[in-house]
Structure 1
Amino acid sequence: MNENSSVVEAHSFDYIPESERSASTSGQFRFWFMINATLITAYTGAVGPLFGMSLSWTLVAIVAGTLFGTLFQAFHGAQGPHMGLPQMIQSRVQFGSRGAIVPITAATIVPIGFAIFYIQTGAYAFTDLTGTTNLAVPQIVIGVAAIVAAIVGFKLLVKAEGIIAYVMIANLVLLTIAALVVLPFGDLFSASAVSLVGFLAQFGASAAYQIAIAPIVSDYTRYLPSRTPSVVVSASVFFGTVLSAVWIEALGAAVSLTFPDLDVVAGIHDMGNEFGFQLGTATLVIAIVVCLITAGVSFYSGTVSFLSALEAFRPLKPTAKLRAVTIAIAGGVAVLAGLTLPADTLTGFSTFLLLLGYLLIPWTAVNLTDYYLVRKGVYSISDILRSDGGIYGRWGKRGLISYAVGFVVMIPFFSTTFYTGPVAASLDGADISFVVGLLVPAGLYALLMRGHDLEAERAIVAASEISTPSADAELVAAAEA
């Protein structure tokens, strides 16, 4: 099946040839803006108020956490056009073709988990809009539609996100005006309540929300031409996601503090309608569409990660049929799981965010350290795509050890509703696990790789059928230095 002539995308975990890369950086900006432009993002901004934080300090934590988390997400974005591969199959370099199943398992669960919340948030928007109490029907309808969108694939998802981005920006502008008119910002900003625990909780939630997107970034940036400068790709991802995340989380924080007894989505609905012009109602209609499309994006990336893991144990041909069946099964499981979620979405979501951060931070540290500091973007794509891992092997001991050690050293710093580590307890529940989760595995991996013969490996890469292009002057210069 030819990707250019078929409605349904044929690619999944495989390499995108240069002739099929037609994406643009402006399209990428709109796409990544829309990744966070859902009402579910507002829940993230409500974490600080849960800990009694004032609006001003919550906003500081939101901005700081978002900027911190998005840095890693944006650095992953540059890998896509350079390698032409989806994000998680690239992990075969550091972890081996079979060893990569460790981070890929997390990367499969993460987007599917987000899809559950997107579907549930869209269903809540529908019930607030119609006054019905039946969540099951809208969840099923939104879920099925998202599955279909994911099966059609990249072109539909990017085009849909690009179109709805203009509508969403207009909606956010109007909601911001409504907030300035309706919400008591004088009172909200006059308060100055702050706590270390609350600040770190909001910082960590905002950072984890961004880092959680890291496993899917290259799935979409791989459709950019390889000659696209890395800095331009990273900037498109960075500014797109930061803008929508900070904007909507700030609204979520203000609404949560003003309407503490309401669900955040319901609060935004009431605020919009109080302003007039049925803005709240229009916001919920837009939210349903946005949640549907973003759930489709999550299904797409989650199944791409899953197939890349499965292919290492059983060679698979990346056909449209295989991808469609996998998406249908994963989507069906997600819809069923969503029907059983508790009503207290906010508490469940904040816990989910923490778990995502714990699982993904050591992976992102190892992957980025290898790409930017160790191998410096010099890879054999042909060997990455081999089931036996080629020159990278089936089990990457250095990567696996670094990941495992990074996760273990984070445990004393964990702070969740079901477990608080001794270090976190001594800090009154403050969670700084992300600091050690980034520094320890990155440093350990760089140390372990000092004994690896990179010169011999680069000679093999140069002779491989498909390797990373020499067009990226930044990485080539760094590799030759």
Structure 2
Amino acid sequence: MSQSDFVEARSFEHIPERERHGNVTAQFQLWFMINATLITLFTGAVGTLYKLDLGWTLVAIVAGSIFGTLFQAFHGAQGPRMGLPQMIQSRVQFGSRGAVLPLAAAMLCQFGFAVFFIQTGAQSIADVTRLAYPHALQIAFGITAMAVAIIGYRLVLQVERFASCATLINLVLLTVAAFTLLPLRSMLSQHHFTMVPFLAQFGASATYQIAIAPIVSDYTRYLPSRTKGSAVSCAVFFGTMVSAVWLESLGAALSIAFPSTDLIASIRDLGDRFGYGLGSGTMIVSAFSCLIACAVTIYSGTVAVLSAAEAFRPIRSTVSLRAATIACGGVLAIIAVISMPQNILDSFSAFLSLLGYFLIPWTAINLTDYYFVRRGAFSITDIMDPNGGIYRKWNSAGIISYACGFTAMIPFFSTSLYTGPIAMLLDRADIAFSVGLFAATAVYLFLMRRFDRAGELDIVARAPLNTLDAHVRTAGGARAAAYVSAADI
């Protein structure tokens, strides 16, 4: 294999059919591993922080995960059809330069996750090796993740194929250990339901899944375009949801069983008590999982950066450009890790809330446009035009809808930094995400009510590169309209 084949050169560009590869099974393994890190444990501990009992915490975890995963799964089908990374697709709804708004939010989200993956992975290594140089471990861990991100997509898929098997075995053993050693029956017999903790856990689990939405097409775009969209969505949905629910449930049980102990230390102790080297093995698997997940988030954060920059100045993506951008982003993430407070759970809870507020209006607008307004019919040529082409530099419909969705959430915000007046009336219950989804969707549909889809289909059909089938491409807009529908996606 040549260097050009091994080291990825693509960034924000469209992936031509000759470079497409992979299958749905590999996608399931990839998305299973995205959430199969110890950082996911912390998401499951949100409800128990507010004294919610284990039974209702598990209900909130499952319900919230299903709700949030639906959004990221629907994004998954966009990748093979459009051949584009996730966030550059926002140029359709926001304009080539207007898309900088959601691109900035996605960039902060992905590099923010990288910070927590570096911290958690380095801590896992320290627990096994007993090394007393945390900053040195964090730096080494971050540099290794940057190297994996630079090599890119093919390496990630190859590694995930084997890592998913090891992780699955590890999770099964941890689950057996939990049923064997933890007083689960006693914990499940205690009933203490209150709405605020339930909503907090539901929102945390949902937001944790929605946070993956900005990177989904970054990886599904390499699948052959003939890949069925529903199959891709199912692979993304079940892959991320299974690992998220599994680990969040373990995190909830451990946080109740060991309320004064750090979750990573708790799961290490659980493995040690079970025996067979499970504690050390869990830390090793965790470090490896965090390494790959960190590389994935740095990779996608870099794609967002270059996508935003390319709207203002034409850029040709090269290996050296990708490497330099990844290195800069990785160094900033490492500096942030070294500067972080030690109480990661408090930091992570606040981070989840903030990133959800910025991402929710975007996912509502993007999915509404893709499935209900344009119904999967796009000109890739115009999306890749820095001047926006038919989508213009600034698209007021997307920008206004985003602003309205975000503004509508403000009275419902419930964080340690700010609590909105309506959230105060609701006893600090955080339902902002549902308000943002509804408001952004409603405003966008209203603003696009006079959208001339037939006229745009005619233009799209004549574009050199578009999402219409090859035999439709030359038939004009009227015939294209007969082929492109939600059912084709």
Length-normalised TM-score, structure 1:
0.97
Q: C-alpha deviations, 1:381-405, integer Å up to 9, x for none?
A: 0000000010000001000000000
Q: Deviations 1:2-50 (Å, cap 9, x if unpaired)?
A: 9995221010000000111111100000000000000000010011110
Q: Which amino acid aligns with 2:226?
A: R
Instruction: Please give the alpha-carbon distance, in whole angstroms, between the structure 2 residues aligned to 1:475 and 1:277.
Output: 58
The whole-number CA distance in structure 2 between the counterparts of 1:137 and 1:274 is 30
Aligned to 2:317: 318
- Whether 1:32 and 2:40 are equivalent positions in the alignment is no
Give the CA deviation at 1:428. 0.5
Q: Contact 1:226/1:469 (CA < 8 Å) preserved in 2?
A: no
Cα 1:271–1:81 shift into 2, 3 Å: same
Q: Secondary structure at the match of 1:215?
A: helix
The superposition leaves residues 200-228 of structure 1 with CA deviations (integer Å, 9 ceiling, x where unpaired) of: 10000000000000000000000111111
Residue equivalent to 1:399: 398
Aligned to 2:193: 194
Residue 32 and residue 475 in structure 1: after superposition, are their counterparts in 2 closer, same or farther (change >3 A)?
Answer: farther
- 1:204 corresponds in structure 2 to 203
Residues 41 and 249 of structure 1 are in contact (CA less than 8 Å); yes or no, is this contact kept in structure 2?
yes
How far off is 1:128 after superposition?
A: 2.1
CA–CA distance in 2 between the matches of 1:353 and 1:179?
Answer: 27
Q: Supply the distance in 2 between the matched residues of 1:323 and 1:116 (Cα, whole angstroms).
A: 19
In the alignment, what sits opposite 1:362?
A: 361
What is the distance in 2 between the residues matched to 1:265 and 1:22? 37
Secondary structure class of the residue paired with 1:15? coil
- In structure 1, the partner of 2:103 is 104
2:305 maps to 306
Matching of residues 356-395 of structure 1 within 5 Å? 356-395=355-394
Distance between the aligned counterparts of 1:475 and 1:364, measured in 2?
26
> How far does the alpha carbon of each residue in 1:285-335 deviate from its partner, in whole angstroms, 9 at most, with x for none?
111111111100010000001100000011100111111100000001001
CA contact (8 A) 1:376 1:475 kept: no
Contact 2:376 2:485 in 1 (8 A): no
Q: Judge conservation of contact 1:413–1:421 (CA < 8 Å) in 2.
A: yes
Shift of 1:452: 2.2
- Partner residue of 1:214? 213
Deviations 1:358-401 (A, max 9, x none): 00000000000000000000000000000001000000100000
Asked if 1:66 corresponds to 2:65, the answer is yes
Query: Residues 3 and 9 of structure 1 are in contact (CA less than 8 Å); yes or no, is this contact kept in structure 2?
Result: no
Name the CA shift for 1:160/1:85 in 2 (closer, same or farther; >3 Å): same
Tell me how far 1:163 sits from its aligned partner.
1.4
Give the whole-Å Cα distance in 2 for the aligned partners of 1:3 and 1:313.
33
Shift in Å, 1:130:
3.0
What is the aligned partner in structure 2 of residue 244 from structure 1?
Answer: 243
- Alpha-carbon distance in 2 for matches of 1:317, 1:324: 13
Amino acid at match of 1:476: V
1:456: Cα distance to partner?
A: 1.4
Which residue matches 1:330?
329
- Aligned AA (2:466): S
Q: Deviations along 1:436-480, whole A, 9 cap, x unmatched?
A: 110111111011111222211111100001000328999723499
The 1-side partners of 2:264 and 2:4 are apart by 41
In structure 1, the residue matched to 2:92 is: 93
Paired residue for 1:477? 485
Mapped to 1, the partners of 2:132 and 2:338 lie a distance apart of 13
Q: Which position in structure 2 is the counterpart of 1:258? A: 257
Does the Cα contact within 8 Å between 2:378 and 2:460 map onto a contact in 1? yes
Supply the distance in 2 between the matched residues of 1:100 and 1:271 (Cα, whole angstroms). 46
Following superposition, the deviation at residue 273 of structure 1 comes to 0.4
- Cα distance between partner residues in 2 of 1:453 and 1:335: 48
CA contact (8 A) 2:32 2:243 kept: yes
* Bigger shift: residues 121-130 or 296-305: 121-130
- Whole-Å Cα distance in 1 between the matches of residues 487 and 78 of structure 2? 15
Q: Pairwise CA RMSD of aligned residues?
A: 1.6
Whether the 8 Å contact between 1:146 and 1:292 is mirrored in structure 2 is yes
Task: Give the distance between the partners of 2:374 and 2:99, measured in 1 at CA.
Answer: 17
Q: 2:82 aligns to what? A: 83
1:337-371 Cα offsets, whole Å, 9 max, x none, are 10110000001001100011100000000000000
* 1:450 aligned onto 2:449: yes
- C-alpha contact 1:378 1:479 (8 A) present in aligned 2: no
How big is the shift at 1:120? Answer: 0.2
Aligned-partner residue type, residue 229 of structure 1: K
Asked whether the equivalents of residues 377 and 475 of structure 1 are also in contact (C-alpha less than 8 Å), the reply is no
Aligned pairs for 1:128-143 within 5 A: 128-143=127-142
| Residue matched to 2:157 | 158
Within 2, Cα distance between the matches of 1:478 and 1:252? 38
**Could you say which residue in structure 1 is the equivalent of 2:117?**
118
Does the 8 Å contact 2:461/2:468 carry over to 1? no
1:18 maps to 17
Q: In the aligned structure 1, how far is the partner of 2:161 from the partner of 2:336?
A: 29
Shifted more, 276-285 versus 212-221: the winner is 276-285
Shift of 1:137: 1.4
Residue equivalent to 1:57: 56
Q: Paired residue for 2:477?
A: none
**Alignment partner, residue 41 of structure 1:** 40
Q: For residue 450 of structure 1, give the secondary structure of its aligned residue in structure 2.
A: coil
Q: Does 1:289 align with 2:297?
A: no
> What's the counterpart of residue 439 of structure 1?
438
Identity of aligned residues (%): 56
The residue number in structure 2 matching 1:428 is 427
In structure 2, stretches of 5+ residues that fail to align are: 473-479
Give me the whole-angstrom Cα distance separating, in 1, the residues matched to 2:251 and 2:53.
13
Residues 366 and 399, structure 1, Cα contact 8 Å, conserved in 2? yes
Q: Classify the secondary structure of the residue corresponding to 2:303.
A: helix
Distance 1:110 1:340, change over 3 A: same
Determine the C-alpha separation between the residues in 2 that align with 1:230 and 1:475.
Answer: 15
Size of the aligned set, in residue pairs, is: 479
Which whole-Å CA distance do the structure 1 matches of 2:117 and 2:468 have between them? 37
Q: Distance in 2 between matches of 1:379 and 1:419?
A: 40
CA distance in 2, matches of 1:131, 1:257: 27
User: Could you tell me whether the CA contact under 8 Å between 1:377 and 1:468 is conserved in 2?
Assistant: yes
- Cα pair 1:3 1:20 within 8 Å, conserved: no
CA positional deviation for 1:134: 2.8
What secondary structure does 1:210 align onto? helix
- C-alpha distance in structure 1 between counterparts of 2:161 and 2:55, whole Å: 32
In structure 1, what residue type is equivalent to 2:201? Q
Q: 2: distance between equivalents of 1:413 and 1:275?
A: 44
Point out the more displaced range, 225-234 or 84-93: 225-234
